[in-house]
Amino acid sequence: MSLTDQSAFDIAHKIQRGELAAVDVLDAALERIAAVDGRPGALDYGPLTQEDQTKVHAFITLTADRARQKAERVDARISSGEDAGALAGVPITIKDLFCLKGVPTTAASRILSNFVAPYTATAIERLEDAGAVVLGKVNMDEFAYGSSNESSAFKPTTRNPWDLTRVPGGSSGGSAAAVASGQGCLSVGTDTGGSIRQPAAYCGVVGLKPTYGRISRYGVIAFASSLDCPGPLARNVRDAALMLSVMAGADTRDSTAVRLPVPDYLAGIDRGVKGMRIGLSKDYLQISYPDPDTGETIMEDLPAEIRNMTLRAAETLAAEGAEIVENVPMPNSIYGIPAYFVISRVEASSNLHRFDGVKYGYRARASGGDLAELYRLTRAEGFGLEPKLRVLMGMYMSGGQLSLQYFQRALQARSMIRADFETAFDPDGPYRLDVLLTPTAPTPAFKMGDFYGDSTLMQYSDQLTVSANHAGVPALSIPGGLSAEGLPMGLQLIGPDFAEATLFRAGYAFEQATADADWRAVKPCVLAEVE
């Protein structure tokens, strides 16, 4: 097994004890990248070659030299007896939505293709301060608008390491694919409607959307500011907990970052689920979506293998001592996607205003110095399909009287969704849940090209994840098994505000209880060739 396939926890400990050199871990990671990733995403990508279709393409920007300097500094600290940090020498990747000083930060968009960030995001700063070694910036949906990575302006877009004809999910698809294929141990993503959890599920890794405000958003290019949550992607629950411990906490540069002390998420992670009340909800075992032709809402049960995975997981946890509470009503979940459609687009259209060609990023050549033409051309040429759709929808739904019909109603729906969770988690209420157990996504990873271009249907792959964003509560996605086609399926654990430690404890218990399961031994296909 390559060094890069070890857990972040083990690597950091070995480096801290001087049993392992950070540069050796870095070399292993770079070797893996060279073996599986193929060419990085680029604007001028030319035709897709045969070889391209056999690679993951997680990266947009590889920062190997910078990484080597950081790794050498970690080793120097260790040899001089200094504390090198909780993530000493752990190779990580960063979704290209986070600013990293001196490194291109593109949001996978042409409009920022030439933007080099002059400052570093708080979450990244904390990871680097803890000794993490940043390998580079990974691909994503343009401005995080999507669930498949296909909307990136940087191509080839990321492929699923388990099946290279399938999407890795999105928008943090590059992050999930990198972690799954051993291109670093950890990755930082963002989750606005499921953008960490859905790709984590599709790529068979662990992904956490923390409570809103748990991790600072400073330095994260905004998608929908009231929903955006940075969070960790890792190959196991403990690594995700370790990563959250480093990233979480108040930030003087983000007033929405909560001023609550950060617990040690590793302490007590192995205390098990005995006595924990874990809920199941029928509202999370079905999906509703609009008929593409008639627009009517279709209600459908989830595929049997997704339902069965969820119920089996409940049995496993029950066997570990958890109390399963069935039939927890979450009736307002059906409004999750429509409300998200409105709120996220209204905020996104406003957040995109600043990309106007005046200050930074792509600028079109406008003739005759006409300002309106400069704006029009810059945005027409700089934005891809998804940003344009979102600007149009967002501006439409927040304009004048329509704001009442759409935006204000969506905010009401959001409050109702929040109320569902409050009832479910109320310690004096009828359900008194510690955790709600659901599938993460309605299906395993779909084929590239299946939905791309239909942003409504694409959105519905986030149906089971989006409510946690509306409500602001934390939700963890962990691998729950493999489908008949051998594709990963994700389990989601949702808890009340700031109950990340509970989620980690439940997730870890499930991981331990299924450690010897057959599906755990199966690895992504891209790794078969490197071993």
Residue among 113, 151, 171, 187 flagged as catalytic: 171
State the Cα–Cα distance between residues 127 and 134, nearest whole angstrom.
Answer: 9
Cβ proximity to another protein: between 319 and 392 the closer is 392
Residue among 95, 137, 155, 209 flagged as catalytic: 95
Cβ proximity to another protein: between 275 and 400 the closer is 400
Please spell the DSSP secondary structure of 294-363, one letter per residue. Answer: T--EEEEEPPHHHHHHHHHHHHHHHHTTPEEE-----GGGGGHHHHHHHHHHHHHHHHGGG-SSSSSS--
Q: Give least dist CB 189 to another protein, A.
A: 15
Task: Out of 59, 115, 460, 510, point to the residue binding another protein (CB under 8 A).
Answer: 115
Please spell the DSSP secondary structure of 360-381, one letter per residue. Answer: SS-----GGG-HHHHHHHHHHH
What is the distance of C-alpha 63 from the center of its chain? Answer: 21
Q: Give least dist CB 407 to another protein, A.
A: 7
Binding range to another protein, per CB under 8 A, among 14-22, 74-82, 146-154, 394-402: 394-402
Q: Give least dist CB 353 to another protein, A.
A: 2
Contact between residue 271 and residue 505 where contact means Cβ atoms under 8 Å apart: yes
- Closest among 124, 126, 129, 130 to 87, alpha carbons compared: 130
Cβ proximity to another protein: between 75 and 142 the closer is 142
Residues in the chain: 531
CA angle 218, 388, 444 (to 5 degrees): 75
Tokens of 158: 């990321």
Binding flag, residue 105, another protein (CB under 8 A): yes
Contact flags string 197-236 toward another protein, x per CB under 8 A: --------------------xxxxxx-xxx----------
195 is catalytic: yes
Longest dimension (CA), the chain: 73
- Closest among 477, 491, 483, 441 to 461, alpha carbons compared: 441
Q: What are phi and psi of 258, to 5 degrees?
A: -70, 140
Cβ proximity to another protein: between 100 and 273 the closer is 100
Binding range to another protein, per CB under 8 A, among 68-76, 99-107, 153-161, 512-520: 99-107
Cβ proximity to another protein: between 288 and 350 the closer is 350
Contact flags string 39-68 toward another protein, x per CB under 8 A: ------------------------------
DSSP-derived letter for residue 219 is T
Q: Give least dist CB 354 to another protein, A.
A: 5
Binding flag, residue 70, another protein (CB under 8 A): no
Binding flag, residue 464, another protein (CB under 8 A): no
Strand order in the sheet with 475-482: 59-62, 133-138, 91-95, 186-191, 229-234, 206-209, 475-482, 488-494, 435-439, 277-279, 323-325
Cβ proximity to another protein: between 115 and 510 the closer is 115
Three-state secondary structure string covering 220-284: ECCCCCCCCEEEEEECCHHHHHHHHHHHECCECCECCCCCCCCCCCCCCCCCCCCCCEEECCHHH
Binding flag, residue 358, another protein (CB under 8 A): yes
Tokens of 70: 């950081």
Cα dihedral angle (495, 214, 265, 439), rounded to 10 degrees? Answer: 30
Binding range to another protein, per CB under 8 A, among 57-65, 144-152, 399-407, 519-527: 399-407
Binding flag, residue 102, another protein (CB under 8 A): no
Sign of CA dihedral 140, 439, 435, 180: negative
Binding range to another protein, per CB under 8 A, among 6-14, 50-58, 344-352, 515-523: 344-352
State the Cα–Cα distance between residues 436 and 276, nearest whole angstrom.
Answer: 11
Q: Give least dist CB 338 to another protein, A.
A: 18
Binding range to another protein, per CB under 8 A, among 13-21, 110-118, 272-280, 313-321: 110-118
147 is catalytic: no
Q: Give least dist CB 153 to another protein, A.
A: 15
Other C-beta atoms lying within 10 Å of the C-beta of residue 483: 17
Cβ proximity to another protein: between 52 and 356 the closer is 356
523 is catalytic: no
Binding flag, residue 390, another protein (CB under 8 A): no
Cβ proximity to another protein: between 398 and 502 the closer is 398
Strands 475-482 and 488-494: antiparallel
Residues 405-434 that bind another protein (CB under 8 A): 407
Cβ proximity to another protein: between 149 and 190 the closer is 190
Q: Which residue has the tokens 């940075």?
A: 230
In the Cβ-directed half-sphere of 298, how many Cα atoms lie within 13 Å?
A: 12
Contact flags string 246-265 toward another protein, x per CB under 8 A: ------xxxxx---------
State the Cα–Cα distance between residues 165 and 167, nearest whole angstrom.
Answer: 7
Binding flag, residue 94, another protein (CB under 8 A): no
Binding flag, residue 142, another protein (CB under 8 A): no
- Give the CA distances from residue 370 to residues 361, 375, 381, 391, 460, in Å, rounded to whole numbers and listed in that order: 19, 9, 16, 22, 41
Task: Out of 316, 398, 461, 469, point to the residue binding another protein (CB under 8 A).
Answer: 398
Name the site residues for another protein (rule: CB under 8 A). Answer: 98-99, 105, 107, 112, 115, 117-119, 121, 217-222, 224-226, 252-256, 346-347, 350, 352-356, 358-360, 369, 371, 375, 395, 398-400, 403, 407
Residues with a catalytic annotation lie at 95, 171, 195
